[in-house]
Chain A
Amino acid sequence: MATANLPPLDTALETDPMQDSGVSSFRKFWRRFSRHRLALVGLGILVFLILVSIFAPLLTPYSPTAPNLAHVLLPPSAAHPLGTDALGRDVLARLMYGGRVSFMVGFFSMIIATSIGVVWGATSGYLGGIWDTLMMRFVDLVMSFPAIFLLLVVLNLTGANASVGLMILYLGLFGWTGLSRIVRSQVLSLRSQEYVEAARAQGASNARILFKHVLPGAMAPVWVSAAFGVAGSMLAEASLDFLGFGLQPQIPSWGNMLDSAESYIVTHPLLILAPGLVITIAVVAINFVGDALRDALDPRSTAGMQRIG
């Protein structure tokens, strides 16, 4: 890279506008973010839920999967605070281990979707011309299908029930299009800015200009969309479980718990209420955080959680 040969004066051009104030910009962000008390509550709830699911083996003596036919459909008791399900498994233990699956699916599918969305949108906006047209027409095409129809067809083609990894991959592969449009429009407006022109005049490569100078300025909506993306994926995964085309039935996930409890809705409503409320609370908590992130980083955007069902 040419940077090493540059006179000191010009290095200021190499630092991008998002980072130039360093710590103080984070303080500014935190001040705006923490104004939302509900977001702090949401963050607290999320940390609690994630810790509980990580340390599930230490917190509960029960297995989330091994059936115990001597203890089927027990009401809540000291030994089983939320009772047991139709196969005698402790509901609380299944909720804790289920959190691992739900958060993992939500988080990693968001990583995939966000990476594709950012790279696709940035490349399209930066290259412009025929590439831009082609890449965005492709996005139009993918977005012409309701996501759930595509997901169901693809899940069904690869054998009705998916592993956690496959579910993450599919949710990621079908969840990036909206973000790519946002990133593209950000990059389009940034790439003609003077500091970008300056970098180009210094002979920086396209990739360097794009990733070092343009993208950092375009990241605000990305963080917001990533937060909502986690929530959307968690809901989508639960919906697919419920429809019978989600994760393999033996995997303890909140959606699978709801699916298998459907026939006990009248006799044992707790089997439905427990996972249903936990997933609602988790999604609400993420959305609180997402709302505050949007306010702090990108107040004018209309970004929000996309529901596929």
Chain B
Amino acid sequence: MTKYALQRMIQAIPLLFLVTIVTYFIMNLAPGGPLSMYLHNPHVTQSQIAVLAKQLGLNQPWYVRYFKWLWALLHGNWGYSYFSGQPVIQLIGERLPNTLILMVAAFLVSLCFGIPLGIYSATHQYSLFDYTFSFLSFFAWAMPSFFFGLLLQMIFAVKLGWLPVAGMYSEFYPPSLWELLRHLILPTTVLGLGSLAGWSRFMRSGLLEVIRQDYIRTAKAKGLKERSVVLKHALKNALLPIVTIIGMDLPGFFGGAVITEEIFAWPGMGRLFLSALNDRDYPVQMAALLISAALLILGNLLADLAYGLLDPRIQYN
């Protein structure tokens, strides 16, 4: 297992390397390059632009610039924001933890509610709960997350005033864990709802399929309690496809985080990325693209390892 884990990690390195090339290439497609904002400024002359280009090394061939950029990247020098002048790594350092808090919270909520709800639905097939929950989860999965977010905001924050409208901490109270949790509830619900619905449906159908298998009948025939048959014998096999689904849904979490942060003014990477797009702040865009890809590769790696742990049939080497 350790060897398999190490192998998969080593396989991720060339992928990360390619990711940096693609990121660099896309950003170099930008029309006019980083100095285009000066092109229509009457106070900046053509020769000044040429001096700036030389200072920034823009007159070198792209591969020279790429390797210089990569070298600096590996040494923690991620450049400076065109917009605020702050080091990019500092901006990321401020925003990334907030996004991770939101994503981990939503992930845990989807997992902790979605899986048990799916199990309950499966063990109570054709009950009123099963029908209602299945029907609702179809809608939850299909609803655009921003629509759901706006609805929650309107009902629970504006009309009822139970929860804060937006932000991560209150302007009126000192930051505390309690304040953070209050502010987390709505964004977490929005980000987690889709996957909660999707995972519980897959859990339900997966468990129903496993329950029909012969070895489950054997376990029941041995006189084991229904509860232990489901939880011990059936669940472990029914969880396998769920791990794949969770891995497939990871990119959705990133997109969801961008949208959720935008609705609830959550100070995370998603909003940083959106404002960097609006400001044509290419160093920040590049960093956001790189970090999101690196996190996604890491997430897929973890999903693979979890699959390996759950499924003894997978052979390492």
User: A residues bordering B, Cβ < 8 Å?
Assistant: 137, 140-141, 143-150, 152-154, 156-157, 178, 231, 235, 238-239, 242-245, 255, 258, 262, 265-266, 269, 272, 276, 279-280, 283-284, 287-288, 302, 304-309
Residue in A137, A280, A306 whose CB lies within 8 Å of B144: A280
Residue in A145, A258, A280, A305 whose CB lies within 8 Å of B293: A145
List the A side residues contacting B48 at CB < 8 Å: none
- Interfacial residues of chain B within 199-218, with CB under 8 A of chain A in the complex: 202
* Nearest Cβ on chain A to B5's Cβ, whole angstroms: 18
Which candidate, B58-66, B88-96, B150-158, B224-232, is the interface stretch facing chain A? B150-158
Residue in B141, B158, B202, B273 whose CB lies within 8 Å of A152: B273
Report which residue of A144, A288, A304 has the largest number of chain B beta carbons within 10 angstroms of its beta carbon.
A144
Given contacts A145-B293, A287-B141, contact A266 B254 (CB under 8 A): no
Contact A239 B274 (CB under 8 A): no
- CA A140 to CA B297, docked complex, whole Å: 10
Contact A309 B292 (CB under 8 A): no
Which candidate, B118-126, B244-252, B308-316, is the interface stretch facing chain A? B244-252
- CA A280 to CA B136, docked complex, whole Å: 12
Task: Report if B69 contacts A (CB, 8 A).
Answer: no
List the A side residues contacting B285 at CB < 8 Å: 153
List the B side residues contacting A242 at CB < 8 Å: 144, 146, 259, 262
Residue in A153, A280, A305 whose CB lies within 8 Å of B26: A153
- CA A147 to CA B293, docked complex, whole Å: 10
- CA A69 to CA B186, docked complex, whole Å: 36
Task: Report if B267 contacts A (CB, 8 A).
Answer: no
Q: What are the interface flags for B274-296 relative to A under an 8 Å C-beta threshold, 1 for contact and 0 otherwise?
A: 10011000000100110011001
List the A side residues contacting B56 at CB < 8 Å: none
Task: Report if B256 contacts A (CB, 8 A).
Answer: yes
Contact A284 B142 (CB under 8 A): yes
Residue in A140, A145, A157 whose CB lies within 8 Å of B29: A157
CB-based nearest B residue for A231: B142
- CA A110 to CA B151, docked complex, whole Å: 29
- CA A204 to CA B297, docked complex, whole Å: 41
* Nearest Cβ on chain A to B248's Cβ, whole angstroms: 7
CB-based nearest A residue for B252: A307
List the A side residues contacting B251 at CB < 8 Å: 143, 146-148, 306, 308
User: B residues bordering A, Cβ < 8 Å?
Assistant: 15, 18-19, 22, 26-27, 29-31, 138-139, 141-147, 150-151, 153-154, 158, 194, 198, 202, 241, 244-245, 248-249, 251-252, 254-256, 258-259, 262, 273-274, 277-278, 285, 288-289, 292-293, 296-297
CB-based nearest A residue for B29: A157
List the A side residues contacting B254 at CB < 8 Å: 146, 148-149
Residue in A245, A276, A307 whose CB lies within 8 Å of B256: A307
Contact A309 B293 (CB under 8 A): no
Beyond A276-B143, A276-B150, 16 additional contacts (C-beta under 8 Å) are A141-B19, A145-B22, A145-B293, A148-B251, A149-B258, A150-B26, A231-B142, A258-B146, A258-B150, A269-B154, A272-B151, A288-B138, A306-B251, A309-B145, A309-B256, A309-B259
CB-based nearest A residue for B254: A146
Contact A280 B142 (CB under 8 A): yes
List the A side residues contacting B262 at CB < 8 Å: 242-243
* Nearest Cβ on chain A to B285's Cβ, whole angstroms: 6
List the B side residues contacting A306 at CB < 8 Å: 248, 251-252
* Nearest Cβ on chain B to A157's Cβ, whole angstroms: 6
List the A side residues contacting B274 at CB < 8 Å: 152, 243-244
List the A side residues contacting B258 at CB < 8 Å: 148-149, 152, 243, 309
Residue in A146, A178, A235, A284 whose CB lies within 8 Å of B138: A284
Some 25 contacts from A to B, beta carbons below 8 A apart, are A141-B22, A144-B18, A146-B293, A147-B255, A154-B26, A157-B26, A178-B248, A231-B142, A243-B259, A265-B158, A266-B154, A276-B144, A280-B144, A280-B147, A287-B138, A288-B138, A302-B245, A304-B202, A304-B245, A307-B145, A307-B256, A308-B252, A309-B146, A309-B252, A309-B258
